[in-house]
């Protein structure tokens, strides 16, 4: 016991909350006097919750002004409320949820913000100028990877205006139930990845020739010049040479492109979190939410995702859907995922990780409430299924899995050109196809990973910055990153996570 | 019409068959007199079937002395029996199947055959001497890949006795329902991959620190020295340096290893087919079956797999299971897969590809009958679930998906050190972790892909070689490849397909 410990820092999100979160990295020791009427009665680690009142068994535990659980035993004031002390509430029943009942008024437009992008023939705008090569089946990956090494070594140096090379390798395409109802998810994802805005309107598909997902199944009107079928080639060297020739044709065109001033309304920003902790919901994610509002005010497209991290807070966002139809689509996506998890004999509670729990997130409800704030305050104008492209600008709910790799891949398929990614425990996540801005929920993580984290939202917890200040910083940084005038750390080092298609259908 | 066409070559598998398969690469033209009493009445492409009799609607169409379908219209003698002219029979009901009723007598032992392998502390024997690095979660892949490039460039040249470097990257580990009943499949697969016989008994796992699949979940007794947790490292360079240091420690030990003479009973050979055609079942697969018998006679472990390609011929192999228990496990695995496909609203007919059909395989029954012959004639001594390690030597049924990438990964997890892979349409498939011998079902493919196909079984169709001769050639080649005295084409070029874990559980 050490009651002479320096005054610890705690944070409360809403006046109605009956818990607070420990901000001090060293935690709080038993016996520490926190306020005049609150003393810690046991050691409590950083980012974990302290009881502000005496809870009886069954009492509501409130954070974010919402019930995050019920005390499953008496919890005296000053205790550490760890994950074992509360019971998970049931998920909000979908049928009864009010939709479009509290549609926010449009936020005041922000005019005049621009970035330097690569406009494409189809009207989209890229943030990178990349050679994309898509495979229709994993069979061809071994050959493509050898060709890619050759392109990097022999061709790329000749075309300095091209930012990079992206082989879209994946395990779909054959040995899968291609006519299963849910096969549409990986197929449309792959179709949309192949035509990503950062590929400059160029299309190149490498196929084998006997796969289920033939290139024409991806693009019924595909031109011969956009496809290489390896079974048509005479041996190894011809395969490599054909890919190199075609790649060089495209590189010559890409190399002539230059960045142009574009309105921020042409940006498509994806939001995600990974390795979350109890700070994520009070520092990084609210700041991202503030940046999301700024982007929406500029007319940009902003996508938030991660179904299992929205499910328990879905009642907070259905009222924000712009109309009945969008609200219903949101419920349908939640119901689809409930059923998908149920088929595997699990539910949304399967989302939380050991790291989340170590980071003070007691359960999926607490995690969800912190995750949803990334969406800011504007109306949800469209809900899209995994890998679909939005048809509207503004705030979009892209219903993807929460898995960082799968969410990232789905958001790329939806046309994302910059991702903002918050992390508490810390991940080095990066994507080759679009820059990923990493926002830390804690200052400690930034101190440890100076050369991996782009933005420190931990300053909010310590009172050094406001949510608005960090939100503005994120917004400004997005424009620099999108313009190529700054680089995220992941791109600086070349940290790239593989594409991971969401395939809810069986394999054969 | 051209009845002066040179005498076409056709092949019949069993005297009871009422169809034959066209062997001539140019096919058979309408009007061609094939035998005194058989004239083609329409053009029939290579590897497709001709009707030997007049079929009435509903008549049985027989190949391999088995019903491959029922005529769904009258089919006159001399017609092309394409996939649309027959109806799929129902799959053999599992309950009624006789098990262990025709257990083959043990084949006469073959003594004295050896290969040069790398014996491991656990008693297994490798065919390569590789540095394996396993990830516990995809989060760390971006860092590991950068370290791998550095190891290849800076370290590998110093340790010339080490054959290669294998990062086991995958999309499992987090963002998955780790407590779902079927999560055991990817977890045990990864555990067994990490300790593959070609990794010399060395273990190195790179983890993040907050993932669901923490290294201790893979190996409860894992030593600290076998694990690097990236969240414990201060920034990018420390992460890379830690991996490099640990890699070099292992490389120093691996570099001291030398190949030793080992009995063939220490080999673990996996059998697979991909891009099959109607020749696969009469050339490549029977020759592989002959080689399988030779291996079993030497006491080796031989695995055949691909549930959806066994399901329709399962009644041919349940009698060969060595006892009731093994027979029941075989039925259980079939039932598990029936149910898995049914959950996705498909069945085993989802297996066949456009390429199979172009290659003359009318349906999954015909494909299965041709696929199963890879197993040879010996008793099935054990049935294992996907990614399990066999506990017996001899012929094993490893119940994996048929997807080339997933089957290959599961067989590697089961300890496979050489794979024999038959192909008809042609695939360039290769694995970094174990050599893949590619056997072509057609001479035409070998002529086209001289530098990708290792063995030509097409000679059997043209009468230039017997099944036994090609089978012996495969067996001899396996021993050379396992000894490192010859290289398969895929290893010569460095053609490597990615690891693809089978995850039948949901992601979150
Ligand atoms: Ca998340
Ligand atoms: Ca995530
Ligand atoms: Ca096969
Ligand atoms: Ca079901
Ligand atoms: Ca296969």
A224 touches chain B (CB under 8 A): no
CB contact under 8 A, A508 and B351: yes
Highest mean pLDDT range out of A348-352, A369-373, A419-423?
Answer: A419-423
Sequence length of chain A is: 508
C-alpha closest to that of B212 among B144, B143, B140, B136: B136
- Please name the residues in contact with A200: beta carbons below 8 A apart, sequence gap of 6 or more: A118, A120, A126, A129, A130, A253, A254, A257
Residue A56, burial from CB neighbour count under 10 angstroms (0-12, 13-18, 19+): exposed
Least CB-CB distance to B208: which of A345, A427, A449?
A427
* CB distance A22 to A44 below 8 Å: yes
Ligand lying closest to the C-alpha of residue A285: 1
Q: Which of residues 148-207 of B touch A (CB under 8 A)?
A: 169, 171, 174-182
pLDDT in tens, A205-233: 999 999 999 999 999 999 999 999 999 99
B291-295: average pLDDT: 98
Ligand lying closest to the C-alpha of residue A340: 4
pLDDT (0 to 100) of residue A6 = 59
CB contact under 8 A, A208 and B275: yes
What share of chain A in percent tops pLDDT 70?
A: 99
- Cβ-based neighbour number of residue A43 at 10 Å: 14
Neighbours of ion ligand 1 (CB under 5 A): A 273, 306, 309, 402
CA of A279 to the centre of ligand 1 (A): 13
pLDDT in tens, A322-366: 999 999 999 999 999 999 999 999 998 888 888 888 989 989 999
Shortest Cα distance, chain B CAs vs residue A62, angstroms:
25
Query: B-chain residues within 8 Å CB-CB of A490?
Result: 142
Q: Are strands A125-126 and A114-119 parallel, antiparallel or unpaired?
A: antiparallel
Element (H, E) at A227: strand A227-229
Residue B152 DSSP one-character state:
I
pLDDT (0 to 100) of residue B1 = 37
pLDDT (0 to 100) of residue A58 = 96
CB contact under 8 A, B500 and A401: no
Q: Search chain B and give the residue with CA nearest A177.
A: B350
Q: What is the residue-wise DSSP string for B21-70?
A: EE-STT-B-TT-EEETTEE-SS-B-TT-EEESSPBPTTPEEEETTEEEEE
* CB distance A182 to A504 below 8 Å: yes
Element (H, E) at B306: none
CA dist B295 and A324 (Å) reads: 66
pLDDT (0 to 100) of residue B342 = 94
B217 touches chain A (CB under 8 A): no
pLDDT in tens, A466-482: 999 999 999 999 999 99
A9-35: average pLDDT: 91
Least CB-CB distance to B506: which of A214, A340, A405?
A340
- Please name the residues in contact with A130: beta carbons below 8 A apart, sequence gap of 6 or more: A162, A163, A164, A165, A166, A198, A199, A200, A254, A432, A433
CB contact under 8 A, B142 and A490: yes
CA dist B86 and A46 (Å) reads: 68
Of the pLDDT bands very low, low, confident and very high (cuts 50, 70, 90), residue B6 is low
Least CB-CB distance to B346: which of A177, A403, A489?
A177
Shortest Cα distance, chain B CAs vs residue A448, angstroms:
5
- Please name the residues in contact with A274: beta carbons below 8 A apart, sequence gap of 6 or more: A404, A421, A422, A423, A427, A429, B139
Q: What angle do CA B294, B197, B112 make, to 5 degrees?
A: 30
CB contact under 8 A, A211 and B354: yes
Shortest Cα distance, chain A CAs vs residue B502, angstroms:
9
Q: Which of residues 287-326 of A touch B (CB under 8 A)?
A: 308
CA dist B159 and B255 (Å) reads: 6
**The token pair that represents B81 in the structure block:** 């029996």
This model of the complex carries an ipTM of 0.94
pLDDT in tens, A255-285: 999 999 999 999 999 999 999 998 999 999 9
B312-319: average pLDDT: 94
pLDDT (0 to 100) of residue B314 = 95
Q: Say yes or no to pLDDT of A4 above 70.
A: no
CA dist A380 and A327 (Å) reads: 9
CB contact under 8 A, B346 and A180: yes
Element (H, E) at B272: strand B268-273
Shortest Cα distance, chain A CAs vs residue B265, angstroms:
31
Buried-exposed string B63-102: b where 16+ CB fall within 10 A, e elsewhere: bbebebbbbbeebebbbbbbbebbebbebbebeebebbee
B221 touches chain A (CB under 8 A): no
Least CB-CB distance to B403: which of A176, A208, A497?
A176
Q: Which of residues 421-480 of A touch B (CB under 8 A)?
A: 425-430, 448-452
C-alpha closest to that of B219 among B179, B254, B185, B188: B188
A262 — phi, psi (to 5°)?
-130, 145
pLDDT (0 to 100) of residue A170 = 97
SS3 A126: strand
B57 touches chain A (CB under 8 A): no
Ligand lying closest to the C-alpha of residue B342: 4
Shortest Cα distance, chain B CAs vs residue A164, angstroms:
16
pLDDT (0 to 100) of residue A2 = 43
C-alpha closest to that of A422 among A281, A243, A307: A281
CB contact under 8 A, B505 and A171: no
A146 touches chain B (CB under 8 A): yes
* CB distance A266 to A408 below 8 Å: no
A453-457: average pLDDT: 98
CB contact under 8 A, B405 and A175: yes
Q: How many CB pairs under 8 A join A and B?
A: 249
């Amino acid at each position: 016991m050490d009651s002479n410990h320096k005054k610890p820092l705690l944070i409360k999100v809403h006046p109605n909350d009956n818990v607070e979160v420990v901000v001090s990295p060293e935690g709080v020791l038993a016996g520490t006097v926190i306020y005049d009427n609150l003393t810690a009665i046991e050691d409590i680690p950083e980012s974990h919750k302290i009881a502000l009142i005496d809870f009886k068994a069954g009492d509501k535990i409130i954070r974010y002004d919402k019930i995050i659980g019920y005390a499953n035993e008496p919890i005296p004031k000053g205790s550490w409320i760890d994950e074992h002390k509360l019971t998970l509430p049931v998920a909000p029943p979908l049928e009864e949820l009010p939709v479009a009942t509290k549609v926010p008024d449009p936020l005041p437009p922000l005019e005049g913000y621009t970035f330097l992008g690569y406009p494409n023939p189809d009207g989209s705008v890229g943030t990178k100028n990349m050679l994309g090569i898509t495979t229709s089946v994993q069979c061809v990956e071994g050959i493509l990877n050898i060709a890619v090494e050759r392109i990097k070594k022999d061709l790329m140096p000749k075309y300095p205006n091209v930012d990079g090379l992206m082989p879209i390798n994946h395990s779909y395409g054959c040995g899968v139930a291609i006519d299963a109802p849910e096969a549409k998810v990986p197929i449309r994802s792959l179709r949309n990845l192949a035509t990503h805005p950062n590929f400059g309107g160029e299309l190149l598909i490498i196929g084998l020739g006997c796969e289920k997902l033939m290139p024409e199944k991806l693009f019924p009107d595909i031109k011969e010049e956009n496809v290489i079928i390896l079974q048509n080639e005479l041996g190894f060297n011809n395969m490599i040479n054909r890919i190199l020739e075609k790649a060089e044709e495209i590189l010559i065109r890409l190399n002539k492109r230059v960045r142009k001033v574009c309105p921020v309304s042409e940006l498509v920003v994806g939001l995600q979190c990974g390795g979350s902790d109890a700070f994520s919901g009070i520092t990084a994610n609210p700041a991202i939410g503030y940046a999301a509002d700024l982007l929406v005010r500029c007319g940009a497209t902003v996508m938030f995702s991660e179904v299992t991290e929205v499910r328990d807070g879905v009642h907070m966002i259905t009222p924000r859907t712009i109309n009945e139809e969008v609200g219903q689509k949101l419920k349908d996506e939640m119901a689809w995922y409930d059923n998908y998890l149920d088929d595997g004999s699990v539910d949304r509670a399967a989302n939380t990780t050991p790291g989340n729990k170590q980071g003070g997130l007691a359960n999926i409800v607490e995690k969800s409430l912190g995750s949803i704030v990334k969406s800011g305050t504007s109306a949800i104008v469209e809900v899209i299924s995994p890998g679909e492209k939005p048809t509207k600008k503004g705030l979009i709910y892209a219903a993807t899995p929460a898995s960082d790799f799968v969410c990232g891949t789905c958001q790329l398929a939806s046309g994302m050109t910059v991702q903002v990614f918050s992390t508490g425990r810390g991940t080095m996540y990066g994507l080759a196809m679009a820059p990923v801005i990493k926002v830390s929920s804690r200052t400690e993580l930034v101190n440890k990973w100076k050369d991996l984290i782009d933005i420190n939202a931990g300053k909010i917890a310590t009172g050094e910055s406001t949510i608005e200040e960090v939100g503005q910083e994120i917004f400004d940084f997005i424009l620099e990153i999108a313009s190529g005038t700054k680089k995220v750390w992941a791109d600086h080092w070349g940290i790239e996570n593989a594409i991971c298609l969401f395939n809810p259908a069986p394999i054969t």
